[in-house]
């Protein structure tokens, strides 16, 4: 079995942002068991190496930085891999010293999940500090009506904002609904706010820019990365991995209950 990356779901408690489209609310939940995660860490390291994992993603069913100690544990445990942290950024804004600690723990990429154009200005000083620490910055935009897309050249605006704030990478994310959503309110919000239609509109705008850009590389699960004005651009048609092939998968998922899965939305996919 081969995998592109290892996603580690940090067993933090709660979240400091209440996103109406939250994918975690719609997927199957498991109980936190950090003791079991620690017991299985060495096995997961060996599995990731055997599966030719190229990078580790620290993420979670909740906000990972709500438990910074556990983030540091996994940064140290998987220090031989390039590591990316996925966050809403609020903890870094409120407690900037975290950024120096992430640097000392050899974090490579901070991926901010945002949903408003105003977030670029909100996190301006955080971006500056991370760039000073030579940590790569990715902004992943969750596409919905919260972006205020109407009558705005939104893709050009996103690229310009990335250049202005020296963002290294930009990803567009389509807000999708799992096959069997556990939270109807989040699913209904995505439908009511025309997220699929808005993503399609923004995707079409991006395609015009891509035709004039340089293709950088492709991943083994089909994501293409382009150089648009010095920004590494990609797009994601899904929020979660619900299924995978037998041999090549997008992610091994080290879940917060201590097991390893191949799907975020099915406990039946556990094999450790």
Q: Is the confidence at residue 241, as pLDDT, over 70?
A: no
CATH code (residue 236): 3.20.20.70
pLDDT digits (tens, 9 = 90+) for 17-29: 989 998 888 887 8
**To the nearest whole number, what is the mean pLDDT of the chain?**
91
State the Cα angle at 69 between 132 and 101, rounded to 5°.
15
pLDDT of residue 193: 86
pLDDT digits (tens, 9 = 90+) for 108-145: 999 999 999 999 999 999 999 999 999 999 999 999 99
pLDDT digits (tens, 9 = 90+) for 185-226: 988 999 998 888 889 989 999 999 999 999 999 877 678 999
pLDDT of residue 265: 79
Q: Which of 108-117, 232-241, 259-268 has the lowest mean pLDDT?
A: 232-241
Based on the structure, what is the number of domains in the chain? Answer: 1
Q: Is the confidence at residue 39, as pLDDT, over 90?
A: yes
Using only the alpha carbons of the chain, give its radius of gyration. 18
Whole-structure pTM value: 0.93
pLDDT over 90 percentage in the chain: 72
Listing DSSP states for the chain in one string gives -EEEEEEEE------S---TT-HHHHS------HHHHHHHHHHHHHHHHHTT--EEEEE-SS-GGGGHHHHHHHHHHTTTS-EEEEE-SHHHHH-THHHHHHHHTT--EEEEEE--TTHHHHTHHHHHHHHHTT-EEEEEEEESGGG--TTS-HHHHHHHHHHHTT--EEEEEE----SS-S-HHHHHHHHHTTHHHHHHHHHHHHHHHHTTSEEEEE-TTS-EEEEETTEEEEEES-SS-----SSEEEEEEE-TTS-EES-TT-GGG---
Report the half-sphere exposure of 180 (CA within 13 A, side-chain side): 6
pLDDT of residue 177: 84
Q: Is the confidence at residue 245, as pLDDT, over 60?
A: no
Q: How far apart are CA 45 and CA 47, in angstroms?
A: 5
User: In which domain, by residue range, is 16 found?
Assistant: 2-269
pLDDT of residue 242: 46
b/e map 59-81, b = 16+ CB within 10 Å:
bbbbbbbbbbebbbbbbebbeeb
Please tell me which residue, 83 or 251, carries the higher pLDDT value.
83
Q: Which residues contact 148 (CB under 8 A, 6 or more apart)?
A: 116, 117
Region of 268 on the Ramachandran plot (φ > 0 left; ψ -120 to 50 alpha; else beta): alpha
């Amino acid at each position: 079995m081969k995998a592109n990356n290892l996603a580690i779901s940090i067993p933090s408690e709660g979240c400091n942002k209440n996103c109406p489209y939250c994918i975690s609310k719609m997927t199957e939940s498991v109980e936190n068991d950090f003791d079991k995660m620690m017991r299985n860490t060495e096995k997961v390291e060996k599995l990731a190496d055997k599966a030719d994992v190229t990078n580790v993603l620290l993420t979670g069913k909740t906000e990972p930085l709500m438990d910074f100690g556990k983030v540091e544990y996994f940064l140290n445990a998987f220090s031989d891999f390039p590591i990316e942290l996925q966050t809403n950024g609020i903890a870094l804004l409120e407690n900037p010293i975290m950024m120096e600690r992430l640097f000392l723990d050899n974090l490579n990429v901070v991926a901010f999940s945002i949903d408003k154009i105003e977030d670029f200005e909100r996190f301006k000083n955080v971006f500056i500090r991370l760039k000073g620490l030579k940590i790569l910055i990715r902004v992943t935009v969750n596409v919905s009506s919260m972006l205020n897309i109407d009558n705005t050249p939104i893709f050009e605006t996103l690229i310009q904002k990335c250049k202005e704030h020296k963002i290294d990478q930009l990803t567009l994310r389509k807000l999708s609904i799992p096959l069997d959503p556990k939270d109807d309110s989040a699913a209904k919000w995505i439908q009511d706010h025309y997220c699929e239609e808005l993503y399609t509109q923004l995707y079409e705008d991006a395609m015009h820019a891509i035709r004039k850009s340089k293709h950088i590389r492709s991943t083994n699960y089909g994501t293409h990365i382009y150089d648009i004005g010095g920004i590494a651009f990609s797009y994601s048609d899904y929020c979660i991995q619900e299924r995978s092939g037998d041999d090549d998968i997008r992610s091994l998922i080290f879940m917060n209950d201590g097991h390893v899965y191949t799907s975020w939305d099915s406990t039946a996919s556990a094999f450790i």
